[in-house]
Amino acid sequence: MLGCPCAWCVLGFIGIICLPLSTDPVWVSCNVGVFVCLVCSGVHRIPSIGRVKSTQLDYVEHDLIEFMRSHGNLRAKDEYEACVPPFYYRPTEKDCMVLKEQWIRAKYERKEFTGEKDCVYSVEYKEGFLWKKGRDNGQFQKRLFVYSENEGVLKYYTGDKRSGPKGKFPIQTLNAMFQGGNIEHQHGLEVTCVQDARTRSIYVYHDDGQVLRFLD
């Protein structure tokens, strides 16, 4: 396991302090109380999640050691992954950074799986703007997207709502993948659906990785 430290933080295996230090730097997320690898530490230092310290480069004060003793990855896993929906994809150390960031944000920033708030996956209606790649010219344009469970569709508009949606995707066959296909954007998403027995893909992104949550 020392060879793939990301598995510790992504999956939350290690629950103790005094890790044998591998050649990879081991970082501590001070607010959550978990050990993370260098890659994941970049997400854990987002202010809304907390701050990080290197166990090799930084002075680790006694209080933090005690905090880590009473928390740790195993306890964090119990708390922050109490009710992960069975269909939610858990990234592994081999997955891309975007996928890991979304997982870490969902777990620690939005606390989606602690069971304390209503499941965000039961969202019935949502609308917002995403940048969508044009089918013909490949240029990204800002489009209004509406997700409606009542209608059973995800639809988008190129102009005024009153003139009707430009595209509709049945929710039942909807699938979304981060960084799928050829989107050269950090928070890019490939959305596919099956329509008339054919698979259709659209490519979207948003500047804020959080916003794409509802399509995940």
Query: Scanning the structure block, which residue is given the tokens 């499941």?
Result: 119
Q: Tokens at residue 107, please?
A: 């777990």
- Give the number of residues in contact with Zn ion, rule: CB under 5 A: 4
Of 2-10, 110-118, 144-152, 165-173, which part binds Zn ion (CB under 5 A)? Answer: 2-10
d(CA 48, CA 7): 22
As measured in angstroms, the least distance from the Cβ of 40 to Zn ion is 3
Of 7-15, 126-134, 163-171, 203-211, which part binds Zn ion (CB under 5 A)? Answer: 7-15
d(CA 14, CA 83): 20
d(CA 160, CA 4): 50
As measured in angstroms, the least distance from the Cβ of 73 to Zn ion is 11
Phi, psi of 107 (to 5 degrees): -70, -55
Of 1-9, 174-182, 187-195, 197-205, which part binds Zn ion (CB under 5 A)? Answer: 1-9
**Nearer residue to Zn ion within complex by CB, 29 or 179:** 29
**Binds Zn ion (CB under 5 A): choice among 26, 32, 34, 40:** 40
As measured in angstroms, the least distance from the Cβ of 80 to Zn ion is 15
Contact in structure between 177 and 216 (CB atoms under 8 Å):
no
What is the separation of C-alpha 91 from the centre of its chain, rounded to a whole number of angstroms? Answer: 9
d(CA 182, CA 95): 16
Contact in structure between 202 and 189 (CB atoms under 8 Å):
no
Looking at residues 147 to 206 of the shown chain, list those that interact with Zn ion (rule: CB under 5 A). none
Binding letters toward Zn ion, positions 10-39, x by CB under 5 A: ---------------------------x--
- Can residue 9 be called a binding residue for Zn ion (CB under 5 A)? yes
Report the interface residues with Zn ion, using CB under 5 A. Answer: 6, 9, 37, 40
